[in-house]
Copies of this chain bind each other. A is one copy, B any other.
Amino acid sequence: MPTTAAALDALTDLLGDRLNRSQSDRDLHGRSESHFKQMPPDAVAYPESTAEVAEIVKICHGAGLPIIGWGAGTSLEGHALAPRGGVTVDFSRMAKVLDIVPEDMVVSVQPGVTREALNTELRATGLFFPIDPGANASIGGMASTRASGTTAVRYGTMRSNVLGLEVVLADGRVIRTGTRAPKSSTGYDLTALFVGAEGTLGLITEITLKLHGQPEASRSAVCAFDTMAGAVDAVIATIQSGIPMARIEFVDTAAAAAFNKGAGTDWPDAPHLMVEFHGSEAGVIEQTERFAEIAGDFGAQGFRWAAKPEERTALWAMRHNAYRTTLQAYPGCTAITTDICVPISRLAEAVEETAAEIAASGLPGPIVGHVGDGNFHALLLPKTGDAAEWETAMKLSANMAERALRLGGTVSGEHGIGLGKTKYMRAEHGDAWDVMGAIKAALDPEGVMNPGKLLPGN
């Protein structure tokens, strides 16, 4: 087997200065947006084509060198870190929108394109790609983590919006999954297998996505509630009523206070819901009225409506910046994100137990969530370097995971497993985790694809 040094030399022969071995670039690709420590790769490769990706993979595979995909670096569970070194494949030079087919409402893209760049290119077509995890993530990363976000309640997650993929396997073979037809029953659903596989089975080099029509009309609003229970129960009643919410987001009192501090708003000290409606002009008015009535029954007040595009953009930018805004509101703290998701009927229990336990712990832990899906996040904020507070935060996080499973839910609604959540996989999946391990062993027997993440014994 060639040495690491020989493999890196071979990669330099292939890529020239598009193989970067500088400390600064390695460090840049060895850090994440969350609390994980620095784990740099041995080098960063910047391929420009699928053929180059396949060559990179073959060289690394031959030398037993880990291969880690990198999109926009916005993942929250350390998916793109290099705990065992190796080569990070940065897709920033494979960021083209390849083919927009408006009449089929599909688009094919390279993995490095970001969701915002894609929507900019789509603007004139009357179509858009709705999945919105907040961060301006890359489509390849979003596919690999099965991302979702604020609009999943209406438009689904990456699971339902990826029609097909091109994937470079661990041995360098290139396969295609799916077609542009709306459905298929021809064998194992490999598209679904690679979506959410976090780069552990192969590198995604092309994605075919479903698009949606830009809504004729949109309207957003924020309203406050007297109690957290009122806000959450309003969500449950709204979802059960069948109103096709485009967004319905919970913001607790602490998160609202952080927004006020970080974004200069003047929301009352209270739990809030942020909502959006998409449809025809008449449909949006009807939905709005029905929602206002339900929310009113649960004590909503102080509705602030945003109908103009710039007002809506400002509102959702604030939601998207919640993570950074909240961090800024608690200087000297480290953020530990959580991401549980429960059946909608158990949402009130899940949120209230979590909030009560956080309050009792004394740690700051604002809660926001895509509650229309039963998914919410507490941002736990121990003081940096305070071992006792860190331990408290870890215990709160573990209790949230246990709570999600007890209530019939899942330890990650959208962030994925990466390095951070493998410890909960056995509890959630039992022997099914070993089935994942068997698939991994079958498709990547050398274990070169993103090692250390997601799988058992890894």
Q: Which of A401-425 contact B (CB under 8 A)?
A: 404, 408-417, 421, 424-425
Q: Are A183's CB and B413's CB within 8 A?
A: yes
Of B104, B188, B414, B424, the residue contacting A183 (CB under 8 A) is: B414
Expressed in whole angstroms, the Cα–Cα distance for A421 and B185 within the complex equals 11
A295 interface residue per 8 A CB criterion:
no
Query: Smallest CB–CB gap between A202 and chain B, Å?
Result: 9
Q: Are A443's CB and B432's CB within 8 A?
A: no
Q: Are A183's CB and B435's CB within 8 A?
A: no
Q: Are B188's CB and A412's CB within 8 A?
A: no
Of B188, B417, B430, B442, the residue contacting A186 (CB under 8 A) is: B417
Of B181, B186, B409, the residue contacting A425 (CB under 8 A) is: B186
A331 interface residue per 8 A CB criterion:
no
A345 interface residue per 8 A CB criterion:
yes
Q: Are A345's CB and B185's CB within 8 A?
A: no
Expressed in whole angstroms, the Cα–Cα distance for A442 and B436 within the complex equals 10
Expressed in whole angstroms, the Cα–Cα distance for A374 and B104 within the complex equals 10
A457 interface residue per 8 A CB criterion:
no
Q: Are A414's CB and B192's CB within 8 A?
A: no
Q: Are B341's CB and A413's CB within 8 A?
A: no
Expressed in whole angstroms, the Cα–Cα distance for A169 and B435 within the complex equals 9
Of B169, B185, B192, B374, the residue contacting A147 (CB under 8 A) is: B185
Least CB separation from A416: chain B residue:
B185
Expressed in whole angstroms, the Cα–Cα distance for A436 and B421 within the complex equals 28
A293 interface residue per 8 A CB criterion:
no
A58 interface residue per 8 A CB criterion:
no
Interface residues on A, range: 35 or more
A103 interface residue per 8 A CB criterion:
yes
Q: Which of A90-108 contact B (CB under 8 A)?
A: 101, 103-106
A175 interface residue per 8 A CB criterion:
yes
Least CB separation from A414: chain B residue:
B185
A206 interface residue per 8 A CB criterion:
no
Query: Smallest CB–CB gap between A419 and chain B, Å?
Result: 13
A190 interface residue per 8 A CB criterion:
yes
Which B residues are CB-close (under 8 A) to A181? Answer: 341-343, 373-375, 404, 408-410, 413
A195 interface residue per 8 A CB criterion:
yes
Expressed in whole angstroms, the Cα–Cα distance for A374 and B182 within the complex equals 7
> Known: A175-B432, A341-B181, A432-B175. Contact between A186 and B103, CB under 8 A?
no
Of B193, B421, B435, the residue contacting A443 (CB under 8 A) is: B435
Which B residues are CB-close (under 8 A) to A242? Answer: 213
Expressed in whole angstroms, the Cα–Cα distance for A81 and B435 within the complex equals 27
> Known: A190-B432, A432-B177. Contact between A183 and B341, CB under 8 A?
yes
A441 interface residue per 8 A CB criterion:
yes
Query: Smallest CB–CB gap between A422 and chain B, Å?
Result: 9
A148 interface residue per 8 A CB criterion:
yes
Q: Which of A186-224 contact B (CB under 8 A)?
A: 186-190, 192-193, 195-197, 201, 213
Q: Are B341's CB and A182's CB within 8 A?
A: yes
A37 interface residue per 8 A CB criterion:
no
Stretch at the interface among A152-160, A250-258, A308-316: A152-160
Which B residues are CB-close (under 8 A) to A148? Answer: 183, 185
From A175, A185, A373, residue with most partner B Cβ within 10 Å: A185
Q: Which of A227-281 contact B (CB under 8 A)?
A: 236, 240, 242
A-side residues, CB < 8 A to B, are 101, 103-106, 145-148, 152, 156-157, 159-160, 169, 173-177, 179-190, 192-193, 195-197, 201, 213, 236, 240, 242, 283, 339, 341-345, 373-375, 404, 408-417, 421, 424-425, 428-433, 435-436, 438-439, 441-443, 454-455
16 further A-B contacts with Cβ under 8 Å, apart from A104-B343, A186-B421, are A103-B344, A104-B344, A104-B345, A105-B240, A148-B183, A156-B160, A173-B431, A181-B413, A182-B341, A185-B412, A185-B413, A185-B416, A186-B429, A187-B425, A187-B455, A283-B283
